[in-house]
Chain A
Amino acid sequence: MSSMLYNHRFLIGRRLVQIGLLILFFGGNYFGWKILTGNYSSATFLGEVNLSDPFALLQVLFSGFIVATDALIGGLIILVVYSLIVGRAFCSWVCPMNIVVDLAGWINKKVGFSKPKIDFGRIAKLRYYVFALILLLSAILGFAVFEMISPIGMLHRNIVFGFGTGIIAVVAIFLFDMVARPLSFCHHICPLGAFYSLVSRYRMLKVFHKVEACTKCNKCFAVCPEKQVLSIVGKRSGSIVSGECTNCGRCIEVCDDQALKFSILKK
């Protein structure tokens, strides 16, 4: 039992953080808790400190508006935390869509739906085009476009402000991921993930690979949601540098050889 818990230590941690944040948001609305109020685009911590999604602020800027100082400082805090310290951890540790998408992927694997027919290989960089397109559209249409259609925002509103606020996009992504292709949205489309990928290259926290310990079992490749980042595994020692790594720790959990671990400030 304890070894099972240990083997899923990061998964448990991630779920605790994700669900804990949702509970805090929920309590903020229903019980008036002051710990965390707002949403994933802009939240107030302890009724004082604003924390804002820098990508949302970037869209607002492109739409032709500069947000108030509170939100600007909040956006800077979040940008520094992710880009310089924990990397793209938002996607695997914070984002509520991660729970939905992981569940869809888990069902897909358990039921054993046929391998995907759609070839996404060619459009591996699609999310970066979506990212650019969202900024372009924000400038043309005059409002923050991803904030308007974001399934993250929809899911948050459904949970925190009551059902019926338009969960369609979330259901669509869940079903598509379940039957057709796991991680279709997070891996290929989400411009927020693209944003954090772009800024996370120089983060402190990285997964470190020790090639001498590696037995090339490829278990890490099987579980990694962004397999391309593991290119050095089995070849040479070093840190996983790509900003696309979400620091989810799945590879570390499955590695039986102690060849992968989190490290801080290692090259």
Chain B
Amino acid sequence: MGDKKSYPSRRDAIKKLFKGTGYLGISGTVLGSLATGLAANKLELRPPGALEEKDFLKACLKCGICVEACPYDSLILSKVNDEAGLGTPFFRPREIPCYMCPEIPCVPVCPSGALDIRKLQNVSGDLNINKAKMGLAVVHKETCIAFWGIQCDVCYRACPLMDEAITLEYDKNERTGKHAFLKPVVNGEFCTGCGLCEHACVTEKPAIKVLPIDVATGKVGDHYIKGWDKLDEKRLNSSGKGQQQPEGNKDAIDYLNDWEDLIDE
């Protein structure tokens, strides 16, 4: 290349085009896979009010202002091997949980909107940290000593939404015949994912653990509806899939009798 000053031949131009595309492909793949590896979030928890993970990764500018605002140093910025998306904020409740400050200092300071204050506001606009959905606590009953029959309600008492997010379920201990189980049960409707339970858990490795909402939850899909619950019908309607077709208004018997329609055209 470059030795001819005249117009490049078609062969040269095509060669150059292929070469350029090749370089673009190589550098794109290398850069892209490097960046994707660094962006991957395995199982880390985001600050309160965070957008859904996909949007959060787009929006977060890694400025660390939320980390600086956190009075308990719960929030940290991800290092290379933390796998929370390099430079993005997260917290590890077993080390330092979210203490649920009522004034939520970490969220309104976010300049990019990656942490959205609207997710933590009541209808009247008041801040309410209890609306946070940072994760969902999950109990491993095989290692939870309360499920063994040993009396422990540490997570239940550590929970800032005691008797809402964690309730105790009483059960008869058939083994001894005279004792009770007091089993902790997490209620996803209320759990904020603050991790105070995980932080307090007495077992060597916590038997109650907060997982990202997306990891910890299932999804029913549109084909199951609680027929006894009028509100659940709305879920179907809002999904758009369950909209009744105009033809559906016809009676089934009419449809069967109007067979000419089917033959026509």
Q: Besides A134-B31, A164-B79, A168-B80, 15 other CB < 8 A contacts?
A: A39-B61, A41-B63, A44-B111, A65-B58, A67-B59, A67-B112, A71-B111, A122-B2, A137-B35, A140-B32, A141-B35, A147-B62, A148-B39, A161-B76, A166-B79
The CA-CA distance from A71 to B35 in the complex, in Å, is 23
B58: contacting residue among A42, A133, A144, CB under 8 A: A144
If A44-B109, A52-B61 touch, does A148 touch B87 (CB 8 Å cutoff)?
A: yes
Across the two chains, which residue of chain B brings its CB closest to A148?
B35
Could you jot down 15 A-B contacts, CB within 8 Å? A38-B63, A39-B61, A41-B61, A42-B65, A42-B112, A60-B61, A67-B59, A133-B28, A137-B31, A141-B35, A143-B35, A143-B57, A148-B38, A164-B79, A165-B79
Q: Does the CB pair B77–A165 fall under 8 Å?
A: yes
Q: Does the CB pair B62–A39 fall under 8 Å?
A: yes
| A50-72 vs B, Cβ < 8 Å mask (1 yes, 0 no) | 10110010001001110110110
Question: Which chain B residues border A142 with CB–CB below 8 Å?
Answer: 54, 57-58
Main secondary structure of the interface of B (DSSP, over half): helix
Chain A nearest CB, measured from B47 CB (Å): 15
Q: Does the CB pair A145–B35 fall under 8 Å?
A: yes
Chain B nearest CB, measured from A124 CB (Å): 13
Chain A nearest CB, measured from B95 CB (Å): 15
Question: Which chain B residues border A122 with CB–CB below 8 Å?
Answer: 2
The CA-CA distance from A149 to B68 in the complex, in Å, is 22
B27: contacting residue among A29, A133, A143, A148, CB under 8 A: A133
* Tally of A-B Cβ pairs under 8 angstroms: 129
Question: Which chain A residues border B85 with CB–CB below 8 Å?
Answer: 143, 148
Q: Does the CB pair A137–B28 fall under 8 Å?
A: yes
Which residues A152-178 have CB closer than 8 A to chain B?
A: 153-154, 157, 160-161, 164-166, 168
Chain A nearest CB, measured from B119 CB (Å): 13
The CA-CA distance from A56 to B61 in the complex, in Å, is 8
Which residues B74-90 have CB closer than 8 A to chain A?
A: 76-77, 79-80, 85-87
CB of A80 closer than 8 Å to a CB of B:
no
CB of B142 closer than 8 Å to a CB of A:
no
The CA-CA distance from A74 to B57 in the complex, in Å, is 20
| B1-33 vs A, Cβ < 8 Å mask (1 yes, 0 no) | 010000000000000000000001001100110
CB of B67 closer than 8 Å to a CB of A:
yes
CB of A37 closer than 8 Å to a CB of B:
yes
Interface size class of B (residues with CB under 8 A): 35 or more
Question: Which chain A residues border B203 with CB–CB below 8 Å?
Answer: none
Question: Which chain A residues border B253 with CB–CB below 8 Å?
Answer: none
Q: Does the CB pair B68–A71 fall under 8 Å?
A: no
Binding site for B on A (CB under 8 A): 28-29, 32, 37-39, 41-44, 50, 52-53, 56, 60, 63-65, 67-68, 70-71, 74, 122, 129-130, 133-134, 136-137, 140-145, 147-149, 153-154, 157, 160-161, 164-166, 168
Chain B nearest CB, measured from A75 CB (Å): 10
Q: Does the CB pair A166–B65 fall under 8 Å?
A: no
Q: Does the CB pair A29–B62 fall under 8 Å?
A: no
Question: Which chain A residues border B206 with CB–CB below 8 Å?
Answer: none
If A50-B111, A133-B24, A148-B39 touch, does A42 touch B63 (CB 8 Å cutoff)?
A: yes
Q: Does the CB pair A149–B57 fall under 8 Å?
A: no
The CA-CA distance from A157 to B38 in the complex, in Å, is 15
Q: Does the CB pair B59–A149 fall under 8 Å?
A: no
Top 8 nearest A-B pairs by Cβ distance? A68-B113, A166-B80, A38-B63, A65-B58, A42-B61, A42-B63, A67-B112, A71-B111
Question: Which chain A residues border B65 with CB–CB below 8 Å?
Answer: 37-38, 42, 44
If A29-B68, A74-B111, A157-B64 touch, does A60 touch B59 (CB 8 Å cutoff)?
A: yes
Question: Which chain B residues border A42 with CB–CB below 8 Å?
Answer: 61, 63, 65, 111-112
CB of B262 closer than 8 Å to a CB of A:
no
Across the two chains, which residue of chain B brings its CB closest to A134?
B31
The CA-CA distance from A136 to B38 in the complex, in Å, is 18
The CA-CA distance from A71 to B109 in the complex, in Å, is 11
Which of A38, A63, A64, A148 has the largest number of chain B CB atoms within 10 A? Answer: A148
A157: contacting residue among B58, B68, B77, B112, CB under 8 A: B77
